[in-house]
Structures are given as structure tokens and as C-alpha cells.
Amino acid sequence: MERTFIMVKPDGVQRNIVGDVVTRFEKKGFQLVGAKLMNVSEDLAKEHYKEHKEKPFFGELVDFITSSPVFAMVWEGENAVTVARKMLGKTNPAEAEVGTIRGDYGLQVAKNVVHGSDSNESATREISLFFNESELVNYTKLI
Ligand code: CMP
């Protein structure tokens, strides 16, 4: 079973979209195995986004993600990484299909509401950056 890391960014938290994001993942059939509202430190932001270190928007990206709390989650299910990315929509909300989270709630690429892991390797890395093993639960779905 795959796991993926999903984070509602500061814009999504401040616009009260957390509940809708959680509901979409629940209704799709994924299982929540970890979640927390947290502030992202500058060190964590730089590590999380290190692949974008050389990009012109890196400073803006770090400033934004550290500006206000995020809601970090780990979701589990079949093909979690790929399916979650479809649910999020294209990175730029202006290009994201209506019906996706970014397509329904975003307008600007810098404030695109949610982040989701782009591969299984990224998911493993991002989950371990944001969560301790003790913060993740294992349980059998009864229904
Ligand atoms: P995310 O999925 O969190 O991963 C990297 C982020 O960089 C991306 O979402 C966007 O929010 C952000 N990003 C990508 N391109 C730009 C850009 N041109 N200007 C500002 N931010 C960007």
C-alpha cells in the first residue's frame, strides 16, 4: 500500500479549505494515517523544497510556506501518489482542471493551496521530514 504526503499551504489554511481537502481524500477512499497543524521552520522549508534551490522563486517559496501554519497529512491507499496528484490538479491553478483542488480554489502558482508528493521517493522523504514514526498510525479499516 502506498503513502503520500499532502500539505494544505498557508493560503488554504487561512481560507478554511482544510476541511474540504480532508473530505475529498476521505471520500476518494484513502486512509488518513497522520495529520497536524504546524508552523514550518526555515530549515524545514529549505530542506523540503531543496530541489527548487536554484529557481528564482525559491526565496518567495520559503517565505510563503513559513509565513503561517500549514496542515500536513499522510494518506494511504492504492496508487496514492499518482491519484493524489490528479486530485490536486496542475501546479499552476490557472491551468488546473475545474474539479481538482487547485482548479477549484486557486488562481496563482505561488499560492496554489496544496502540495503533494510527486513520486514515491519524494513521499518517503517528505513524510519523514514532517512526521516522526510515532505520529503515524497503523489500523485496519473495518468498513
Ligand atoms: P509545490 O507543489 O508546493 O512545489 C513547488 C512550488 O513552487 C509549487 O507548488 C508552487 O507553489 C511554487 N512555484 C512554482 N513555480 C513558481 C513560480 N513561477 N513562482 C512562484 N512559485 C512557484
pLDDT band, residue 81 (cuts 50/70/90): very high
Q: Whose CA is nearest to atom 22 of ligand 1?
A: 110
Question: Can you tell me the ipTM of this complex?
Answer: 0.95
The structure's pTM equals 0.97
Q: Which atom of ligand 1 is closest in space to residue 112's alpha carbon?
A: 11
Does residue 80 carry a pLDDT above 80?
A: yes
Does residue 143 carry a pLDDT above 90?
A: no
C-alpha 131: how far from its chain's center? 13
Residue 81 vs residues 11, 84, 93: alpha-carbon distances, Å: 22, 5, 19
Phi and psi torsions of 128, nearest 5°: -75, -25
State the chain's mean pLDDT as an integer. Answer: 97
Q: Is 39 annotated as a binding residue?
A: no
Measured N-to-C along each axis, helices 80-88 and 120-130 cross at an angle, to the nearest 10 degrees, of 80
